Structure 1
């Protein structure tokens, strides 16, 4: 396969030989379907007339249009369907056919990642086996995430020992992102370097290194797997959001609507939360049973309810619970979907047993997802054992100490410390959360309450004024209404501190 090959999503086509590959594996095509595909690809998303297609497949021959219909149908069977269930080949009535443009194809489905065999820089065969084991573990760990798909080990290991160009490999495997690394042994130490690369631009998105002694090899391997898996997912998420804004800012494809909504949700502001919910409703109008969209719509409403913000509909609580249950019905065991829906059941629906069961299942399904760990820890803080909650929350921090989602864990830990009377510690954790996101209301709750309990009334009121600037309708009553109440004593110190600082009791 050379530079003349053409790629589209998981496919690679060589016009010189008429050969087609899907994720590195050959797809058997006849000469006429291959000729038709070549012309459609050359058009780069533009419509190709029936006359031009017949001339390509039957040069110099007069054939019936029905023959073209038969060959197009055969080509459709070979390609299968796109992630959204639609055909790769678009029929333009009375004119001809076209393939989706590259940006259309990319926006229709989440990205794909390939983990390539790590390069053994030392040449020691023992380290070669170790590096292969690390890569296999990373592939397995990444496969637990559903926001992207991972190329199989067998497909990726075809490139072992070969000098490669990342962009060419990405095109051949039909992936957007490539994870590569190297291993070197120096005396009793083993050092591994890992980097995540954009397969189209070859830009480095993330890099890190790990080093340990020979004696702790298995623990070292587990540590690498955990760190890489927990870092790759949010890095890809951020890259995909930026790519959608840059390349497809007005796309109405479901995946792009989701990315735009996600960016608005994580801003945490009241206004952007409403924007996000509107985008997700547009997506649900297209795919009403999409579990990722259902769970994020539930998340948007759950967040409004928990913050005590004005409702978007007649009964946001009932709609939030309905979205969460529909999301669980269609989730197929996706841990992230389960986490969002489980939190909605606990926080908005007050279904403590059902919600906690969902969250426990999500944590077991993907222990390397820091958002899942944060959700299960936060729910346990309200409804379960505080020590276990802190264990989950601190694990989430270890998985992604600088990730924006760390605000959830930091603020929940601050609440746990406040509940136990450790007000200085609560301020420390809440301050770290504030540095990550200045729009997250609960961070202000913890700072206000902890300072008030310490007698720092001026500081408490400064944070109260800052909260009122972003949530002007906030009251003790609105905050309390959105909190789980299985054990009211858990949240009582927060409410008491807010009252001491002078927060209004009700509107």
Structure 2
């Protein structure tokens, strides 16, 4: 059995002497005698925790349950933020005895199970549960497969339920009905802790959280818990897994604010509430001279990190689900790695999966949008077997997505992109993409589509600004080359040829199969008369698109021959076939 005190660092920070005195009293009067009574031996203590060996796993379960019941009874009249509550993990298995210590997988697993237990709760392994059930008058709740740190394979874990007729922690906390997880990524942003000791920073911290909630709620792909629900946890010591169950969310954001010498330091972290795993953490600092600018900077930094991190986590989660249980949402998640591969086969598979998702749920706008994106990239790569049909499908699917949700900024921006690419109606396209970024200024995709629309409309400087915003919002995006390559083309039109080469080379380092990258590189290098490098860029382009012809390429977009003359001039200078 492994046990430790939940929130020990917080308790010590608030009242070190009082916490140590209270913990010593509990050990002497309650915990140690209970362990001894159930034939347990305390192998070692770690200040806030202990490792215990029992003669049998049934003894361990009975002893742990008795400790938690007694602790819950002791805590009835203690304020939540001052309670000492133990988390306990139990496993049965071989151990290695070395003088006065024990080692081995049995010990490691018990320690990891303790880490995923609730404060006041007990978590047991599947091996332990099989030996306990039916023998100790105890009930269990299955927690599913759990990925435990440094344990190779996921393990089935169980929550040991304390008897309902005896005092327990849950009887003294108002717990709402536990809703099911939504069918899309769900997230709650908890009030940030004010570590400054300055009440004025409390308002600043709350303001940041409200801004983050508002910014995240603009992503139609996320289910975001409203401020009023999140702020019910303000000032409380919380268990992230319990928060996740009570609010019905998979992800939780928490953080802290600390002031010092005219500056503020904000820390934030994103946690998977189902496992307790940390997915992202960062620190932001700024001066208090302009509080609102600092608040905007922090909000943008947190939101631009969270949205792609959640998406990556959801894709990895979908890959672990059983194929028989796939929904339209799961199919689209599974399609995205194929989409990101930027290969002929990958795009074909992504298109197949997204079309299948649309068959399952014809009102699923994201599936329509993803399928349209597959067609658009096939056109860009020169892989369209029937150019007119692919163009028609791109327009149809993007328009379908927008008809399903006409207020989704990403759908709106994509229709604006298609409008600018296939027609001469730049004013309409500009109106669409401008409205899209107004709806969600933190959407990297909306800014990227705006960049394309302005590029095709002959507004190269504004296109560069949009692409720079895309890169700023999502600097680690595996598809960032889709912003870098067109940004290079816009730089060519501004006669900034050296910058265009640098941007195109960065795109090529990220992905070596995107044809637009090498069209940009060949054109910019030709303008700079760097002949050897031009030949290399041309060879790379023709390896991706062997049948490339300048005349056919120009047919793919009505705006190209009107507004991007320097790019086309460079392509011809590079010696590509007409």
**After TM superposition, is the score higher than 0.5?**
yes
Change (3 A) 1:262 1:333: same
1:285 aligns with 2:359: yes
Q: CA deviation at 1:155?
A: 1.0
| Structure 2 contact 460–493 (Cα < 8 Å) conserved | no
**1:38-74 deviations in Å (ceiling 9; x for gaps):** x9x9799xxxxxxxxxxxxxxxxxxxxxxxxxxxxxx
Q: CA deviation at 1:414?
A: 0.9
**1:420-453 deviations in Å (ceiling 9; x for gaps):** 2221110111112222222222111111111122
Separation in structure 2 between the aligned mates of residue 148 and residue 448 of structure 1, nearest angstrom: 40
1:225 aligns with 2:299: yes
The correspondence for 1:497, drawn from 559, 563, 570, is 570
Matched position secondary structure for 1:200 = coil
Change (3 A) 1:199 1:471: farther
| Structure 1 contact 301–316 (Cα < 8 Å) conserved | yes
1:461 aligns with 2:535: yes
Q: CA deviation at 1:248?
A: 4.0
The correspondence for 2:199, drawn from 90, 110, 125, is 125
Matched position secondary structure for 2:289 = helix
1:179 aligns with 2:253: yes
The correspondence for 1:134, drawn from 202, 208, 222, is 208
Separation in structure 2 between the aligned mates of residue 186 and residue 313 of structure 1, nearest angstrom: 61
Output aligned runs, 1:383-394, within 5 Å.
Answer: 383-394=457-468
Which residue pairs with 2:380 in the alignment?
Answer: 306
Change (3 A) 1:445 1:313: closer
Matched position secondary structure for 1:215 = coil
The correspondence for 1:269, drawn from 340, 343, 348, is 343
Matched position secondary structure for 1:184 = strand
The correspondence for 2:411, drawn from 337, 340, 346, is 337
1:408 aligns with 2:482: yes
Change (3 A) 1:417 1:110: same
The correspondence for 2:505, drawn from 404, 416, 431, is 431
Change (3 A) 1:271 1:492: farther
1:238 aligns with 2:312: yes
| Structure 2 contact 458–564 (Cα < 8 Å) conserved | no
**1:253-291 deviations in Å (ceiling 9; x for gaps):** 100111122222222222211111111111111112321
Output aligned runs, 1:106-125, within 5 Å.
Answer: 109-125=183-199
Structure 1 unmatched ranges of 5 or more: 4-38, 45-77, 81-104
| Structure 2 contact 255–269 (Cα < 8 Å) conserved | yes
1:209 aligns with 2:309: no
The correspondence for 1:195, drawn from 269, 281, 285, is 269
Which residue pairs with 1:367 in the alignment?
Answer: 441
Which residue pairs with 2:557 in the alignment?
Answer: 483
Q: CA deviation at 1:217?
A: 1.3
The correspondence for 1:296, drawn from 353, 360, 370, is 370
Which residue pairs with 2:3 in the alignment?
Answer: none
Which residue pairs with 2:35 in the alignment?
Answer: none
Matched position secondary structure for 2:336 = helix
Matched position secondary structure for 1:401 = coil
Matched position secondary structure for 1:504 = coil
Q: CA deviation at 1:117?
A: 0.6
Change (3 A) 1:251 1:161: same
Give the length in aligned residue pairs: 411
Change (3 A) 1:249 1:430: farther
Larger CA Rg, structure 1 vs 2: 2
| Structure 2 contact 561–568 (Cα < 8 Å) conserved | no
| Structure 1 contact 309–473 (Cα < 8 Å) conserved | no
Matched position secondary structure for 1:496 = helix
Change (3 A) 1:212 1:43: closer
**1:442-473 deviations in Å (ceiling 9; x for gaps):** 11111111112212222122122222333333
Change (3 A) 1:399 1:126: same
Q: CA deviation at 1:306?
A: 2.8
Matched position secondary structure for 1:179 = strand
**TM-score, normalised with respect to structure 1:** 0.75
CA RMSD of aligned residues (A): 2.7
Change (3 A) 1:79 1:294: farther
| Structure 1 contact 117–131 (Cα < 8 Å) conserved | yes
